[in-house]
Amino acid sequence: MHEVHWPIIIAIYLFLAGVGVAAFYTGILSNLFGNWKYRKLAKYGSYIGVPLIIIGVLLLLADLGRPFYFWHFLLTFKLSSTMSIGVWLLSAFVIVGGLNMLTWLAEEDFAQNNSLLGAFKGKEGLRSLTGYLGIILGILTAAYTGVLLASTSAALWSSTQYLGLLFLVSATSTGMAALMLVLAWRKEDIGIIHKLAKADMIVVLFEIIVLALMFSALSASAPAAASVVLGGSYAIWFWVGIIGCGLVLPVIIDLAASKKAFGAPMLASILVLVGGFLLRYVMLYAGQVGL
């Protein structure tokens, strides 16, 4: 256990990594359990996930200061090092997700005369394999972003067993929101959007339960750390930003929205994404408050 002082770039990295991998595995799982009727979700999930993870890796490199550190973690795998595990997960996802994305890009109109992308056209076996592997790597990465914080000595992070689960559930919600936002922005298939919205309501409910369990446990084991979030300097960000705007308001909007309108799902998705970022921002910075 060691003390850390992480800047805002880490909150952005945690957010982008969660959205990216969750959009990927949400798309694949939707298509898988939807009897292959949601290929569009699998494709868009790949298009969202891989670029966001690459951006996340670049942000991680920027925070490390020297690229050598990244290669050091990559070449010296240690199960005892959460940073080493994270670098391996991110790198593996970029490779696996990248191959998956190439199989989708190969089917786009602009790729018809591209010999490189043409080599990936019709590779359904590769798409399935990388999709299944990507689900595993994505879920592990989403949970890892919380475990990374929990591995430090900060009371808010290390005094609870729910942080990894919280970040996994939150990532899943933001991944669904990213997919809904893309579909609504492109005005595609309002039916799929509303199915995703219903699924996201269940995830949001689960996220609220996990938050309640986490802060109930924290109030008993590390009350000073819990009070920083619940009633201290980060309370307004937590109650108004995360709970109000990020969780409750999107559900109200989805319940009240017309089944034919694209504007409401777009607004609800944006609010979910804002709430997801604020969750990571609050957890990161509240955990670094001196107690």
Distance CA 194, CA 208 (A): 21
1: in domain: no
The CATH code of the domain that includes 259 is 1.20.1630.10
**Number of domains within the chain:** 1
Place of tokens 């034919």: 260
pLDDT tens digits for 227-274? 999 998 899 999 999 999 999 999 999 888 777 788 888 999 999 999
* Start-to-end CA span in the chain (Å): 17
Of 82-91, 147-156, 188-197, 275-284, the poorest mean pLDDT is in: 147-156
d(CA 29, CA 135): 8
Q: Which pLDDT score, from 0 to 100, does residue 1 have?
A: 39
Classify residue 186: in a domain, yes or no. yes
Task: Identify whether 201 is part of a domain.
Answer: yes
CB 106 within 8 A of CB 96: no
Asked if residue 87 is part of any domain, the answer here is: yes
Residue 149 lies in a domain: yes
Q: Flag whether 188 is in a domain.
A: yes
Backbone angles phi, psi at 194, to 5 degrees: -70, -30
What pLDDT digit, counting tens, does each position of 31-82 carry? 999 888 899 999 999 999 999 999 988 887 777 666 566 656 656 666 666 6
Q: 3 lies in a domain?
A: no
Q: Which residue segment(s) compose the domain that 238 sits in? A: 8-286
Is 2 inside a domain boundary?
no
What would the pLDDT profile of 202-215 be if each residue is shown by its tens digit?
A: 999 999 999 999 99
**Amino acid (one-letter) located at 260:** K
